[in-house]
Structure 1
Amino acid sequence: MFSHLFIGITDFDRAFAFYSALMDCLGIEPRFCDRSRPWAGWQTAGGPRPLFLIGRPYDQQPHQPGNGQMAAFMAERRAQVDEAHRLALAHGGTSEGLPGLRPEYHPHYYGTYFRDPDGNKLCVVCHAPED
């Protein structure tokens, strides 16, 4: 469905450390990193699409997180959701919802919500029943 998703950031090194840890936890592979631009991208195994990208806004204006916007990443196991939340906080993120079941979405929805160091809202969710 998606070609790519681009998230604006302000401090590339800080954002790269945050997203590298998160993508590694989820098994999403690095595709490129160009510090001169600066931007970086990751893809799921067997890519090349969809891509997840971070970088400074193209118009060179300061990054501003959107209100009501969120990128959600799928985890295969609930333990990955827990680990993603832990890593997000360890790398400068802030919690927007601890890992747990959210049966109002569906009986097996196990997710967590957090913001990256630039204030972008993210979710990591597992839709599978408990192992």
Structure 2
Amino acid sequence: MLDHISIIVSDFARSKRFYEAVLHPLGYRLMTELPEAAGFGVSDGEGKSGDPGGDLWIARGKPVPPLVHVAFNAASSDAVDAFHAAALAAGGRDNGAPGLRPQYHARYYAAFVFDPDGYNIEAVCHAGASRSE
């Protein structure tokens, strides 16, 4: 099981704003902020899940290919839709509109975006679409 993931970002302030916006629909929040790093995570109501500082960390630096793919679990297809809309509004680039991906499994509902540094960020709900597709 993973404890946390860290990625290097070229513009810390821009990336922090981006991740605050796109992770909000998925229940994530900024949990820790240091001068050149920030941790995002989900509170379980009684504490913090994963790393106490966050499950996803961003840190100032120079991204070097190959870039990574990070997929966040979403509670519903509506949260996936909100993630995608927030990402585009926050300056992300579309890499796959919200929808079913039956090539993965029948109820795999996901959206993909590129963050400001080109990382492929996904939100996925394994319960299918909440409306008819």
When the two structures are superposed, what TM-score results if normalisation uses the length of structure 2? 0.86
Deviation of the 1:30 alpha carbon: 2.2
- For 2:28, the equivalent position in structure 1 comes to 28
- The separation in 1 between residues aligned to 2:8 and 2:105, in whole angstroms, is 31
Count the aligned residue pairs: 124
Whichever residue aligns with residue 49 of structure 1, its letter is G
Deviation of the 1:56 alpha carbon: 1.7
Deviation of the 1:90 alpha carbon: 0.9
Whichever residue aligns with residue 120 of structure 1, its letter is Y
- For 1:41, the equivalent position in structure 2 comes to 39
Tell me whether 1:56 sits opposite 2:52 in the alignment. no
Deviation of the 1:65 alpha carbon: 4.4
Unaligned runs of at least 5 residues, structure 1: none
After the TM superposition, which segments of 4 or more aligned residues of structure 1 sit over 6 Å from their partners? none
Whichever residue aligns with residue 7 of structure 1, its letter is I
- The separation in 2 between residues aligned to 1:84 and 1:129, in whole angstroms, is 16
Spell out the pairing of 1:1-131 with structure 2 (5 A cutoff). 1-34=1-34, 36=35, 38-46=36-44, 47-50=48-51, 51-57=55-61, 62-67=62-67, 69-131=68-130
Is the Cα contact below 8 Å between 1:65 and 1:120 reproduced in 2? no
When the two structures are superposed, what TM-score results if normalisation uses the length of structure 1? 0.87
Please give the root-mean-square deviation of Cα atoms over the aligned residues, in Å: 1.4
- The separation in 1 between residues aligned to 2:119 and 2:91, in whole angstroms, is 12
